[in-house]
Amino acid sequence: MSKPLLLPALGQFLATTAARNMTKATYAAVAAGIVAMVLLTVDSAHEAAPRLIGGALWACLAFFVVEWAVRVHHAARTRAMAAYILSGAGLLDTACIVAVPLALLLGIEPRSAWLLAVLWVVKVIPGVPGLQQLRRVLVVEARPLLSVLALFLLVLFLSAVAIYVLERDEQPATFGNIPSALWWAVVTLTTTGYGDVVPVTPLGRMVAAMVMISGLGVFGLWTGILATGFAAETRRDNFLKTWESVSRVPFFATLGPSAIADVTHMLRTIDLPPRTLVIRKGQPGDCMYFIASGEVEVDLPGKKVLLGEGAFFGEMALLGSNPRSANIATTTLSKLLVLDLVDFRLLMARHPDLVSAIDAEAQRRALENQ
């Protein structure tokens, strides 16, 4: 490949990276760089292989420089270079490649300067789906979380003032001012209890007990809010993904939103590894399957058919009581949505328009099998 074509090719390869989707190479570079930075702080490792550790750090830094250049080039081609440079992602990428060299130019000792490589860890954050979900939960549950935070700060300050009043005469060195009492309140309210500061008066110990119990309640509220928010967000994501899969299935294309919503609620999800037999020929059928992701292979007489994402199979079990007519197995890691026959009949009772859809599908399948 010629040099003029190299950068555009790299730009296309890292297009998703430019959109802040981490690549495997970036993950590997971050992991290698952090390991090398940690080993740099270990005297025995640094003395044993200083060049190897230093070379690994410089190689990771060079990779991030190339990555930054490719992203800038990609942004320039899409006329969005200024937007990228001034964005949070652009500023982070720039800091990751500038921090260590700038520290070295300022005369900072190399082993201390390379500690700034810890910034590379932040590059992993956009690629972690769970953190994106956490951000959505924090936004949605901001008001109750802030309310509990206000309660936490209120209890914190009141307990600090109370313990200051009760213990200042007995322990002036420890509780001689409110800031010192605040340290005790923090470690007690969080139930950490380092033991370096302990009330000795009876009333002080009663306050400490109440503060510890309040701490359990406050953190229990935070945990409950976050757990409820995560559960709701997970249900929402799963419902949307399942809805999208169901709405793409031709079998349900003519149904209204209410029927598709009922189907989505009744589906259950199974994750299967490659080469797993899903349906065995000759067995009675009691459910049908939708392919949310992955691929399955249908072993028909004289040929094999591959079905991918959005396809469905096993629907003849819903159209009659015939046994399975073919073996069907996964070819890759697959996520399947399962609709049981009992649930499908319940849907027919709720939505009579399903009957016409079933009849049409039965006639079409009969024509195909002739």
pLDDT, tens digit (0-9, with 9 covering 90-100), for 39-53: 999 988 888 888 999
Quote the pLDDT of residue 251.
Answer: 64
Query: CATH no. for residue 289?
Result: 2.60.120.10
323 band by pLDDT with thresholds 50, 70 and 90: confident
Q: Are residues 220 and 153 in the same domain?
A: yes
Quick check: pTM over 0.75? no
Residue with the larger pLDDT of the pair 175 and 256: 175
Q: Are residues 256 and 357 in the same domain?
A: yes
Quote the pLDDT of residue 254.
Answer: 63
Q: Are residues 120 and 13 in the same domain?
A: yes
Q: Are residues 92 and 16 in the same domain?
A: yes
Query: CATH no. for residue 214?
Result: 1.10.287.70
Give the number of other Cβ atoms within 10 Å of residue 226's Cβ. Answer: 16
H-assigned helices in 201-352: 202-248, 257-266, 316-319, 341-350
Identify the domain boundary among 72, 101, 127.
127
Residue with the larger pLDDT of the pair 161 and 230: 161
User: Would you say residue 29 has pLDDT above 60?
Assistant: yes
Identify the domain boundary among 183, 204, 233.
233
Q: Are residues 223 and 264 in the same domain?
A: no
State how far the Cα of 296 lies from the Cα of 331, in Å rounded to an integer. 5
pLDDT more than 90, % of the chain? 23
Please count the structural domains in the chain.
Answer: 3
Quote the pLDDT of residue 308.
Answer: 85
Is residue 135 a part of any domain in this protein?
no
Q: Are residues 280 and 325 in the same domain?
A: yes
User: Would you say residue 67 has pLDDT above 60?
Assistant: yes
Is residue 327 a part of any domain in this protein?
yes
8-state DSSP, 284: B
Q: What is the mean pLDDT of the chain?
A: 82
Q: Are residues 268 and 354 in the same domain?
A: yes
Quote the pLDDT of residue 358.
Answer: 65
Q: Are residues 229 and 307 in the same domain?
A: no
Is residue 84 a part of any domain in this protein?
yes
Is residue 265 a part of any domain in this protein?
yes
pLDDT more than 70, % of the chain? 84
User: Would you say residue 146 has pLDDT above 90?
Assistant: yes
Is residue 45 a part of any domain in this protein?
yes
Residue with the larger pLDDT of the pair 189 and 309: 189
User: DSSP 3-state assignment of 22?
Assistant: coil
Quote the pLDDT of residue 240.
Answer: 77
User: Would you say residue 17 has pLDDT above 60?
Assistant: no
Q: Are residues 67 and 149 in the same domain?
A: no
Is residue 229 a part of any domain in this protein?
yes
State how far the Cα of 165 lies from the Cα of 163, in Å rounded to an integer. 5
Residue with the larger pLDDT of the pair 165 and 17: 165
Q: Are residues 123 and 147 in the same domain?
A: no
Please state the rounded mean pLDDT for residues 343-369: 69
- Among 243, 296, 289, 294, smallest CA distance to 269 is for 289
Q: Are residues 211 and 277 in the same domain?
A: no
Q: Return the H-helix or E-strand segment holding 328.
A: strand 327-330
Give the number of other Cβ atoms within 10 Å of residue 91's Cβ. Answer: 12
State how far the Cα of 287 lies from the Cα of 278, in Å rounded to an integer. 11
Quote the pLDDT of residue 35.
Answer: 93
Identify the domain boundary among 94, 127, 160.
127
- Cβ–Cβ under 8 Å, residues 321 and 333: no
Residue 170 token pair: 């007995």
Please say whether the dihedral angle defined by the alpha carbons of residues 298, 304, 305 and 306, taken in this order, is positive or negative.
Answer: positive
Quote the pLDDT of residue 133.
Answer: 79
Domain that holds residue 221: 142-233
For the CA atoms of 285, 290, 296, 302, the dihedral, rounded to the nearest 10 degrees, stands at 50
Is residue 336 a part of any domain in this protein?
yes
349 band by pLDDT with thresholds 50, 70 and 90: confident
CA atoms within 13 A on the CB side of 333: 0
Please state the rounded mean pLDDT for residues 288-296: 86
Q: Return the H-helix or E-strand segment holding 329.
A: strand 327-330
Q: Are residues 123 and 146 in the same domain?
A: no
Is residue 323 a part of any domain in this protein?
yes
Q: Look up tokens 């469905």; give the residue.
A: 312
